[in-house]
Structure 1
Amino acid sequence: MELNNQNLYNRVIELLIQARLQVVQTINNTMAITYFEIGKMIVEEEQNGKEKAEYGKQILSELSEKLIAAFGKGFSETNLKQMRYFYLTYSIRQTVSDEFENNENSETQSHQLPNSITQQVSAQFKLTWSHYLKLMRITDVNERNFYEVEAIKNNWSLRELQRQYDSALYTRLALSKNKEEVLSLGQKGQIIEKSKDLIKDPYILEFLGLPEQNAYSESELEQKLIDKLEHFLLELGNGFTFVARQKRITFEEKHFKIDLVFYNRILKCFVLIDLKIGELKHQDIGQMQMYVNYFDREVKLEDENKTIGIILCQDKSESVVRYTLPENNEQIFASKYLTVLPSEKDFIKIIEH
């Protein structure tokens, strides 16, 4: 009887949590739709004015005064300008998206839905108004769309969205892609289909609070990553789950320890991470090759894909990596990590490099 009561309790709790999430989602969605519609009304009213600039100022001033009297401080002229810009930003985006994805059916849809742009865009408002205020400040359309898609997929808080933007996630992923892939990145977010799609270079680990200087050991770096595991998983990307730290493997009475072991649910493979302070050496790559071979031959199941090895180092020579690994390498990767958020100048150097 006690077990049944516990099961009932768990089911009720799950239902209440889901209901609460749906209520929050509905509130966020309704607020975004409402502000979008207010922005649309302002733009349409402005377009009827003879002197657009002066008429627009007059509209915002008078509307703000009346709305504040009726509903409170949330309708200042600044906020109304943001709603206006919200409409202009997302109505343009949806128009372009419709032409790209639904070129053949666009005319039919416009007859069926008198406010087709509004209705289609509203269906996509799954973040908070604060998220959209941040997103609207990103001028590049592909970059803005990318962060919106990733924030929705990964349930990023506003703080995490800001962190990912500050760490130039879009730029780091886009560096290794051609024009079509960059366009897809903006429309669909990060799609993981092969091992190289998992890799970032550099990884930004500013959340660890470590200094830029190498005044810490590999074990201290490892402990910091474990302490901030949730943040580290977000930095690694989609589909990662933690398996083990200091994973011991033994053969011929020799013992080795792999710093961190993860599993990626999307690629269905193990991901081994070795941490290196200082410059990467060819011996480090050879050691990772041994770890990967061991996991492939002794640990992974038949229906799982080949193991991936990532060496995180403070510095690396591209030539050492290129000549140590085989030309068709798709398993071993070396990436730099930064323990402080780079300045704009530093990011430009990364991009140019």
Structure 2
Amino acid sequence: MIMGSTAGPTPILSIENLQVSLFTRRGVLPAVDGLSLTVSAGETLAIVGESGCGKSLTALAIMRLLPNPPAKIVGGAVRFMGRDLAALSEREMQRVRGKDISMIFQDPMTSLNPVVAVGDQLIEAIRRHNEVSRHEARDRAVELLRRVRIPDAERRLNDYPHQMSGGMSQRVMIAMAIACGPKLLIADEPTTALDVTIQAQIIELMKELQSSSDMGLIIITHDLGVVAEVADRVAVMYAGRKVEEAPVEALFERPLHRYTRGLLGATPSAQRRRGSRLVEITGNVPALSDLPQGCAFQNRCPDVFDRCRAERPQLASLLPHRSAACFAAEKELSRDAAAIGA
């Protein structure tokens, strides 16, 4: 398991101080604020947080699919295999999308074209980046459907999206995403609309596909149970900023940021893993137009103190391979160190 972003293989994706703003009638809002992340080949990075924390906008920024207006990259760099994606022309970016970087979107039923057979959609995806005949692309489409465990694959090529269940549609989306052998796959809430049994099957399928191809994988989710199953490293986002990053085992054993602790406390599967009872996070993520001075989590934090209200914490390395932007965590770790030294 890859232990962190500061060591190991050269990253295939490196996000450096990414800033995405929303240009609205209420002014310019910082939707993603100074985000830095890396992903290496064969590694799974989970990006977690509640709705509105900037997770999906980060994915769309990587893919250069931000809805503009209102969203726009205003700073930083997104480097893939050494190339800054933000600096590419749209034509150059079209060669990257689907071939080198692919994305699975949240709702397969709205991502698939409802009036085109799934086989034709797969064939189009294959031929967009490969010089093959339609017959060759069709054979490849059948192979892909079999690879994602769709039974009677050749017959199902002629089905339309409405003739498939949610789980089957998600498998088709995965087949399309891996059709050209991408080096990086981004999965945005890939199991949200599925029942528990199908969720487990999709997670297992993605793990198998990754292990057989050594591609990098970014999973965007609010479900820490999914994170525990698939991730090597976890980045926690809150109100547009990364507030904690850690190897997955370390995060579950000792979350540092109070928001991360809240997420773990409110996740049934995570709490079963830790043997604790559920605890609700009170309140809501603050609106980007009304962020408080100091820490954005202060109004929901059980350990808030004066410094949290006056000063915005910066992401800092608090333990080996671990970083957090939390004054309460710094205070706790200093107290622990003093107790050990006493």
| Band of TM-score, shorter chain | under 0.3
Higher helix proportion (structure 1 or 2): 1
* TM score, norm. by length of structure 2: 0.27
Higher strand proportion (structure 1 or 2): 2
| Greater Rg over alpha carbons, structure | 1
* TM score, norm. by length of structure 1: 0.26
